[in-house]
C-alpha cells in the first residue's frame, strides 16, 4: 500500500511539526513524502521561526518537490494574491495523481480550518486529513507515543495550533 501513497503536507502542518521538533513523524506511515513547490516557497521564502529548520529538513531528506502551474504562474506574474495558493497547488498535484496510471493516492495534510469547511475538491484516489487527525492516526497505529505531546510541544514553542475539532451535530 505505502509505495503508491504520497503525503502532501500544506504549510500549516509543516510549521506546527517544525515548532514541535516532530517533522519526522511524516515518515511514520511509510508513505512517500513530497512537497508542492508553492508550499515549499510559502514556508521558506520569509525568515520565520521555522523557515530555516524546514529548509534544512527538506534538504537533508532530499524530499521531492512537485512542480505546479500555480507556482509557475506566481513566479511569472509576481501576483499580490498569496492566500490559498499552496492549497491550490496541492489540489493541482492531487488532480495529476488521479490521471496517472495506476493512480497515485494523495494524502493532503492540512491545518487551516477553512480548508475543512471549503469545497476543496479531492479526487476519489486522494484524502484530506487534518494535522490533529494524522497525529491521532499515528498514535492509534502505535507509531507515535502521544499525539497530545506533539501538540503540546508545538504550543509551548509558540505555535497557535488549529483548534479544529470534530464538528458538533
pLDDT in tens, 46-57: 899 999 999 999
Using the predicted structure, report yes or no on whether residue 161 has a pLDDT greater than 50.
yes
Q: C-alpha grid cell for residue 122? A: 479531492
Cis peptide before 159 (omega within 30 of 0): no
The model carries a pTM of 0.86
**Segments making up each domain of the chain, as ranges:** 2-156
Q: Say what the pLDDT of residue 16 is.
A: 95
In this predicted model, which residue has the larger pLDDT, 160 or 27?
A: 27
CA distance 21 to 26: 12
Using the predicted structure, report yes or no on whether residue 71 has a pLDDT greater than 80.
yes
Looking at the structure, give the CATH architecture of the domain made up of residues 2-156.
3-Layer(aba) Sandwich (3.40)
pLDDT digits (tens, 9 = 90+) for 84-143: 788 888 888 888 888 877 778 889 898 865 554 455 667 777 788 889 899 999 999 999
Amino acid at each position: 500500500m505505502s509505495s503508491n501513497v504520497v503525503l502532501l503536507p500544506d504549510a500549516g502542518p509543516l510549521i506546527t511539526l517544525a515548532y514541535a521538533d516532530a517533522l519526522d513523524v511524516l515518515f511514520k506511515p511509510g508513505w512517500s513524502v513530497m512537497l508542492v513547490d508553492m508550499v515549499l516557497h510559502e514556508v521558506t521564502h520569509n525568515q520565520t521561526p521555522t523557515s530555516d529548520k524546514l529548509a534544512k529538513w527538506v534538504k537533508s531528506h532530499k524530499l521531492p518537490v512537485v512542480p505546479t502551474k500555480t507556482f509557475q504562474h506566481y513566479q511569472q506574474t509576481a501576483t499580490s494574491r498569496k492566500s490559498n495558493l499552496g492549497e491550490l497547488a496541492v489540489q493541482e498535484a492531487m488532480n495529476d495523481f488521479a490521471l496517472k496510471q495506476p493512480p497515485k493516492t494523495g494524502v493532503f495534510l492540512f491545518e487551516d480550518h477553512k480548508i475543512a469547511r471549503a469545497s476543496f475538491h479531492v479526487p476519489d484516489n486522494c484524502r484530506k486529513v487534518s494535522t490533529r487527525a494524522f497525529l491521532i492516526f499515528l498514535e492509534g497505529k502505535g507509531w507515535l507515543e502521544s499525539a497530545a505531546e506533539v501538540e503540546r510541544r508545538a504550543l509551548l514553542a509558540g505555535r497557535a495550533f488549529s483548534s479544529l475539532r470534530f464538528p458538533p451535530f
